[in-house]
Chain A
Amino acid sequence: MISRRDFLQASMAASALVGASGFGNWSRLAAQQALTQDQLLQFDTFGNISLIHVTDIHAQLKPIYFREPSINIGVGDVAGVVPHVTGADFRKLYGIDDGSASAYALSYDDFAALGQTYGKMGGLDRVATVINAIRADRPDAILLDGGDTWHGSYTCYHTQGQDMVNVMNALRPDAMTFHWEFTLGSERVNQLVQELPFDSLAQNIFDAEWDEPAELFKPYKWFERGGAKIAVIGQAFPYMPIANPGWMFPEYSFGIRDENMQAMVDEVRGQGADLVVVLSHNGFDVDREMAKRVTGIDVILSGHTHDALPEPVAVGQTIIVASGSNGKFVSRVDLDVRDGRLMGFRHKLIPIFSDVITPDAEVAALIDEQRAPYESALSEVIGHTDSLLYRRGNFNGTWDDLICQALLEEREADIAMSPGVRWGPSILPGQAITREDLWNVTSMTYPKAYRTEMTGEFIHTIMEDVADNIFNPNPYYQQGGDMVRMGGLGYRIDINKPQGSRISELTLLKTGEQLDPAKNYVVAGWASVNEGTEGPEIWDVVESHIRKKGTVVVEPNTTVKVVGA
């Protein structure tokens, strides 16, 4: 385990930049149980430019609980380095006290107890208060949205993203990039993008037929701030048609396209850019790799993998800022740009403690307006839980264990599969489960719960394929999700093996027998990327299951043996 001091040396020393992070401040204050809004927002304005970064909100208009992962394994060069550090190691790395507000916001231990103490986080009305406070310090601060904004809730699904567009517009972003937005279908995305009062940026969205940059998405946008010329380049999620259903947006092609990224950086530098910012939905490891391969980027605002880092990570002359998910955090990055270059920065990952930060009244009213037509459906209690329900983690979470159990029982299957997505807030033990809560972890535009037969060999093939999307040592071959969650099936995974030999000891839990490669098994799952998938919607399957149970209890999952971490 590297110490905080070593980490700072490793990440900062090689850089000529002078950096400072405001993180330690709220950590200490929180330990004294003295959280106030002024302290959370305290920031000595620095330099001549301010960036505000929000990302991966997943349509969470209201405050939520969101437990950070206990298992987040890095492979190859990034084994054991952030963001692949969790729990006590993470707290040690950043000097966070056990039981503090920062421990609650950024790590996972004692989540249920700390959640009671510190309350829910996020809420776009609180985010609005923070943004307004930063704008009071620096009226021309640039607000950038990293995407995964128009997806992830009951109201977002039923309004096809309109609720999020309406509320985000009130926050007045300057630009945005994309991922799950495209699962609304290209027709809807095109319509919304054309109506936005700000720019939609992505250098890597191309026309699929002609392999030319798509007209609707500009590669970059210019800003003039504090006497400096700033270029913000967009980078959408590179693997949209692979990780999500490509048939929903067949006109578009994506990819990392770092040769085009380099060309765009060179182009804006050639036109006199003093500062180059990339608004990215690559995921942290891909951004770190891109910072090594592409020269001339000053700041990467990183999204997709939902990592919340209290300090930027420096790669050469580039700093990477990771701002968490679900509205839990807002990053403020103040920059000193002079003589055509970045001379220094000050950064703060601002935690949105919903009981501490006063909601902005105007945005709160706007949020309520979006929700009003659906309020009775949203608030309907469908059951209770005695267990902490959470999703994040490389292999399993209690939410997906519950979803898999629902699939096994409701669909009478041998094996269940639930996708390794990283969105979905948590529910504390003793809480009621409302329909809104259930939709927060299942809402999507391809929700059909299929039931089919697969051979043992094919199940193994799927698991090897997904595992390589997470644990391929080259980040450019990773898609940024977690492992597919298996219900009714135990297995062993050696993450350091190559594709095809990571997964072994596949065991059908109901009989204790090894999976037979030649035999057919009944598999129930959801979120297939194939067009024409049939079955009931996943939220109906899980709701039916929870109603039958009344109160759910999810035992700790010990069916996955992880080797090589």
Chain B
Amino acid sequence: MQFTRRETIAMGFGAAAMAALPFRVSASADDNIAEFTGGAAMGDAGITLTAPEIAENGNTVPITVDAPGAASIMLLATGNPTPGVATFNFGPLAGSQAVTTRIRLAGTQDVVAIAKMADGSFVKASSTVKVTIGGCGG
């Protein structure tokens, strides 16, 4: 069998080098949380974070947070170099306290949502989103 040079130059599993290790929580993520909550304890009821288990595309990962009665919701990608994604504030006339957005993830990491409720308490939800090279599925 003969191969041209063009045929022999090929892409492998991924031209882009990806890190396989889960990204650690950066110190600034903890700082962001402390700043938002003032160090208050956080519950886990009354907030729903919906995220894919494995991202189809790490550059645009759909995330939904629903926290009925929240005054504001902070969303963090804890392993990104800049963990803060957004803080959403809800006015008294808001019909629902839910947000959907797409975020970029540098690698496998925890996505965290914290809601500040109307009474000043805080609730938190977290979900691990895996960013993988892919291929080789069944």
Contacts and interface: CB of A to CB of B under 8 A. Distances in A.
Contacts of B138: 179, 237, 243, 283, 304-306, 421-423, 479-482
Interface of A: 179, 208, 211, 237-239, 241-244, 246, 253-256, 259, 283, 304-306, 410-411, 417, 419-423, 448-452, 454, 458, 461-462, 464-466, 468-469, 472, 474, 476-477, 479-482, 484, 499-500, 523, 525, 527-530, 532-536, 540-541, 544
A466 B136 contact: yes
A253 B57 CA distance: 10
A534 to B, nearest CB: 4
B1 A541 contact: yes
A452 B8 CA distance: 7
22 contacts: A242-B56, A411-B3, A448-B10, A451-B9, A451-B10, A452-B12, A461-B18, A462-B133, A477-B128, A479-B138, A482-B136, A499-B21, A500-B21, A525-B12, A527-B135, A527-B136, A529-B134, A530-B12, A530-B13, A534-B9, A534-B10, A541-B1
Given A283-B138, A454-B12, A255 B56 contact: yes
Query: Which of B7, B10, B15, B54 has the most chain A CB within a 10 Å cutoff?
Result: B10
B38 to A, nearest CB: 31
A133 to B, nearest CB: 30
Main SS of chain B's interface residues?
A: loop
B131 to A, nearest CB: 10
Nearest to A483: B136
A255 B133 contact: no
B137 interface: yes
A242 B3 contact: no
Contacts of A450: 10-12
Given A242-B134, A534-B7, 7 more contacts: A243-B134, A450-B10, A454-B12, A477-B128, A484-B135, A534-B10, A535-B8
B134 to A, nearest CB: 4
B44 interface: no
A452 B20 contact: no
Query: Which of B11, B19, B22, B135 has the most chain A CB within a 10 Å cutoff?
Result: B135
A536 B54 contact: no
B11 A243 contact: no
Interface of B: 1, 3, 6-15, 17-22, 48, 50, 52-57, 62, 100, 108, 128, 130, 132-138
A464 B21 CA distance: 9
Contacts of B20: 461, 464-465, 468, 499-500
Contacts of A534: 6-11
A255 B11 contact: no
Nearest to B100: A211
A350 to B, nearest CB: 23
Given A464-B20, A534-B9, A259 B137 contact: no
Nearest to A540: B1
Contacts of B13: 417, 462, 525, 528-530
Given A466-B136, A500-B21, A523 B6 contact: no
A536 B10 CA distance: 10
A484 B136 contact: yes
Contacts of A422: 138
A242 B7 contact: no
B1 A536 contact: yes
A476 B17 CA distance: 25
B56 A536 contact: no
Contacts of B3: 411, 451, 535-536
Contacts of A541: 1
A480 B137 contact: yes
A544 B135 CA distance: 25
Nearest to A418: B136
A273 to B, nearest CB: 25
A477 B56 contact: no
Contact of A499 (B17, B22, B62): B22
Contacts of B132: 242, 465, 468-469
A195 to B, nearest CB: 26
A466 B135 contact: yes
B13 to A, nearest CB: 5
A465 B21 contact: no
Contacts of A255: 52-53, 56
A256 B137 CA distance: 15
B80 to A, nearest CB: 19
B16 to A, nearest CB: 10
Query: Which of B100, B128, B136 has the most chain A CB within a 10 Å cutoff?
Result: B136
Given A452-B10, A465-B20, A540-B1, A259 B135 contact: no
A195 B27 CA distance: 55
A469 B137 CA distance: 9
Contact of B62 (A211, A523, A528): A211
A239 B50 contact: no
Contacts of A259: 48, 50
A287 B85 CA distance: 33
Nearest to B130: A477
A477 B130 CA distance: 7
A507 B45 CA distance: 50
A499 B1 CA distance: 39
Nearest to A544: B1
A238 B135 CA distance: 14
Given A534-B7, A536-B7, A243 B21 contact: no
Contact of A529 (B6, B19, B22, B135): B135
Contact of A243 (B1, B19, B50, B137): B137
B8 A410 contact: no
Question: Which 3 residue pairs spanning A and B have beta carbons closest together?
Answer: A243-B137, A450-B10, A242-B134
Query: Which of B3, B19, B50, B54 has the most chain A CB within a 10 Å cutoff?
Result: B54
Nearest to A281: B138
Nearest to B15: A530
A533 B53 CA distance: 27
Contacts of A465: 18, 20, 132-133
